[in-house]
Amino acid sequence: MKQALFLALSLWTCIPAVSQEASMIDVSSRQPGHVFTDRERVRFTLKTSPERSLTVTVRDYEGTQMLSRALTAQPSGAALDLGRLPTGYYVLTLEAQEISFAVVPSAARRYRAEDSPLATDGAISWLVSPEQFRGTAQLMKRAGLLWVRDRMSWGEAQPERGAFRWGKYEQSADAQSGAGLKVYQIFHDTAPWARADRDGKRYPDDLRDAYRFGFEAARHFKGRISAWEIWNESDISVFSPEPADPYAAFFKAASLGFKAADPDVKILMVSMALGADRFTDALFENGIAPYMDIYNWHVYDAPQNYRARAEGHFRMMARHNISSPNWLTEAGIHLKEVDGGLTGTDQKRQAEFVPKSFTHSLASGVDKHFFFVFPYYLENGIDFGVLHRDLTPYPGYVALSATTYALGKGRCQGRIEIPGVSAFVFDNGQGQTVVLWSEEENEVSLNINARQARLVNVVGKESKLPVEGKRLRIRATASPVFVILPPDALRETVTPPAVKPPSVTRTPKPAHKEIVARLVFPNERMDKPSESYICPAGQEIEVALDAYNFGDKPFEGELQAVLPSGWEISGLPQTVRLEPMGRLQQPVRLKAGQTGEDRLPLRLRVSGPKGEASPFVAYVQGKS
């Protein structure tokens, strides 16, 4: 997500009305978003004033007419019972009105996993109205999703120091956890009161405020929120103008607060909007690894390019000996909204993108993939969601459901090398699934040891595939299909997927993990493009030493600065004494040397009787 805020809430009604105009027919159902399971009868109620006769037609994803029926709509409501329909995407037409609905596999037909790599960014706290959180959570659950990402504002949840107003975030957490979803929450603002300049894009003046917010949030939502992400896309100035080192200190403080209240909650580092670069490198130079559980990043690109981005992040993890899970927490497709929604062509593009995106991501070694984004969301003319404004489904929603259903367990076993065809193999938990597509139509033949297989198209429509002499023939097009096979039925050679570096081991915690120190530079010295501080060569500037003890015991240790050649620092104390939850603030003078265009590290080291605390590294340049 490239913009900072979701500014408008989508309109939702649990039994959605198509229009408020009197001339239109009000169509409602008992299912949120008109999404039914294959074990439910598809029933609608039609209301109109005055009474009128009309013809009702239903078409499927391919445009094939499934039925046509005459009906009289009445002010009191007329029942339209379509019975049980096969899984798929449908459009109900009433004269000039079109209403989309879907039939998805019931929970009983899905692979039951304790965890799943297929997830979505739901952001429901910001994108739907609070009174409909439960209905939205049901829609995510019906799509076969388990993990969902949400949003929170620190400033809204804590309007003043010491006062918490959880409000809609309480309702959102209840709705999603109550539906059996695993929620991971993210915030990317600083409460205005926590900074003298009230700049919510910068980190708090006093890091104890971040610790206390983390502590209270984790304590309050324990058991309902499974993971917390601390800030979004800090590597780009849209979300923060500050370099990596102030984020690293802030991250440590907040993470310690979350873990103090809930040791089992998972902590995600900030998501990377760009590839693994000097910002990411500086984060780990600043020692954030022991404070995090999950490495995460974003990508908005063609799915076939995911692997190159993933490999860059894996190299960064190997360089810094990071062994945590790797999550891709935003991946979406840019499609322009026209006349209030996606065109028919773009609806199909979105549907075809969904399985390709998940497949390429998981085949690249990603541990968990989050589609961006679930509800209707318009950003700079781009419609990202898989739902209409009234939360009825696009084909993309049904493709999301079909993908979770067909991939099940979602463990990628590799790919089959077929010229001109993308063919990936997954362990679905009950057998094997082959995902197939081709940009140009191709006839694919697979060698299997089974009498038949099942074909699931991009929107979940199922059919049986006959086997002729142990060969299975499938027509591959740009629209992905899933071929579901019994266990070990596939007899093709499968090339294993990308593997993470095998030499990575868990980064040990520093001896004094609770001690966090930083140097605070003036804002005007920050240079985001170079991820450094620009200082006038040969001149002194004032910076501030800022040190904290987030532990429960007093700390006394030595402080040492390691400077680039030619640089000087004065006023820095040699000894640091900190009471529990104590803070040391002291101005110091930094004199810049001649560094030219090179970024050079300036390091702080704090050591106590049992070893060193977490490091601090800032990159500086001295310029005339």
Tens digits of per-residue pLDDT, 271-285? 999 999 999 999 999
Q: Please say if the pLDDT value at position 441 is more than 70.
A: yes
Q: Please say if the pLDDT value at position 504 is more than 70.
A: no
The last residue of a domain, from among 104, 137, 171: 104
Q: Is residue 1 part of a domain?
A: no
Contacts of 246 (CB under 8 A, 6+ apart): 202, 203, 518, 520
**Same-domain status, 288 and 161:** yes
**Same-domain status, 387 and 437:** no
With a pLDDT cut of 90, the percent of the chain lying above it is: 90
Q: Is residue 583 part of a domain?
A: yes
Q: Please say if the pLDDT value at position 5 is more than 60.
A: no
**Same-domain status, 541 and 468:** no
Is the CB of residue 621 less than 8 Å from the CB of residue 597?
Answer: yes
Which residue segment(s) compose the domain that 397 sits in?
125-409
Mean pLDDT of 149-171: 98
**Same-domain status, 380 and 447:** no
The last residue of a domain, from among 485, 504, 536: 485
pLDDT value of residue 9: 34
Is the CB of residue 86 less than 8 Å from the CB of residue 106?
Answer: no
Q: Please say if the pLDDT value at position 13 is more than 80.
A: no
The last residue of a domain, from among 409, 442, 473: 409
Cα distance between residue 308 and residue 314, in whole Å: 10
Q: Please say if the pLDDT value at position 552 is more than 90.
A: yes
Task: State the total domains in the chain.
Answer: 4
Q: Please say if the pLDDT value at position 471 is more than 90.
A: yes
Q: Is residue 21 part of a domain?
A: no
**Same-domain status, 354 and 228:** yes
Cα distance between residue 400 and residue 249, in whole Å: 38
Contacts of 376 (CB under 8 A, 6+ apart): 10, 127, 383, 385, 387, 388, 389, 391
What is the torsional sign of CA 301, 303, 307, 308?
negative
- Whichever domain contains 565, its CATH number is 2.60.40.2310
pLDDT value of residue 482: 98
Q: Is residue 492 part of a domain?
A: no
Task: For tokens 């959605």, name the residue.
Answer: 16
Cα distance between residue 432 and residue 413, in whole Å: 9
**Same-domain status, 477 and 542:** no
Tell me the two tokens of residue 228.
């917390």
pLDDT value of residue 314: 95
- Whichever domain contains 208, its CATH number is 3.20.20.80
Tens digits of per-residue pLDDT, 15-26? 343 334 446 899
pLDDT value of residue 12: 32
**Same-domain status, 242 and 253:** yes
pLDDT value of residue 596: 75
Q: How far is CA 357 from CA 146, 299, 404, in A?
A: 18, 10, 12
- For helices 344-363 and 395-407, what crossing angle results, to 10°? 30
**Same-domain status, 140 and 268:** yes
| Angle at alpha carbon of residue 160, lines to 154 and 164, rounded to 5° | 65
CA-based nearest residue to 415, from 446, 391, 393:
446
**Same-domain status, 89 and 185:** no
pLDDT value of residue 16: 40
Tell me the two tokens of residue 33.
């978003």
624 vs 367 pLDDT, higher one: 367
**Same-domain status, 251 and 396:** yes
Exposure letters 265-286 (e unless 16+ CB within 10 A, then b): bbbbbbbbbbbbebbbbbbbbb
**Beta strand ranges found along 313-372 (DSSP E):** 326-331, 368-372
Q: Is residue 503 part of a domain?
A: no
Cα distance between residue 16 and residue 36, in whole Å: 14
Q: Determine which helix (DSSP H) or strand (DSSP E) holds 114, and give its type and residue range.
A: none
Q: Is residue 20 part of a domain?
A: no
Tens digits of per-residue pLDDT, 249-274? 999 999 999 999 999 999 999 999 99
What is the torsional sign of CA 50, 51, 56, 61?
positive
DSSP letters for 155-195 = HHH-SBTTB---HHHHHHHHHHHHTTPEEEEEE----GGGS
- Whichever domain contains 100, its CATH number is 2.60.40.10
pLDDT value of residue 503: 64
Cα distance between residue 106 and residue 524, in whole Å: 57
Q: Residue 114: which pLDDT band, with cuts at 50, 70 and 90?
A: confident
pLDDT value of residue 24: 85
Tens digits of per-residue pLDDT, 179-225? 999 999 999 999 999 999 999 999 999 999 999 999 999 999 999 99
Identify the burial level of 27 via C-beta atoms within 10 angstroms of its C-beta, where 0-12 means exposed, 13-18 middle and 19 or more buried: buried
Q: Is residue 504 part of a domain?
A: no
**Same-domain status, 387 and 468:** no
**Same-domain status, 428 and 403:** no
3-state secondary structure of 474: strand
Q: Please say if the pLDDT value at position 486 is more than 90.
A: yes
Q: Is residue 250 part of a domain?
A: yes
Mean pLDDT of 105-128: 96
- Whichever domain contains 467, its CATH number is 2.60.40.1180
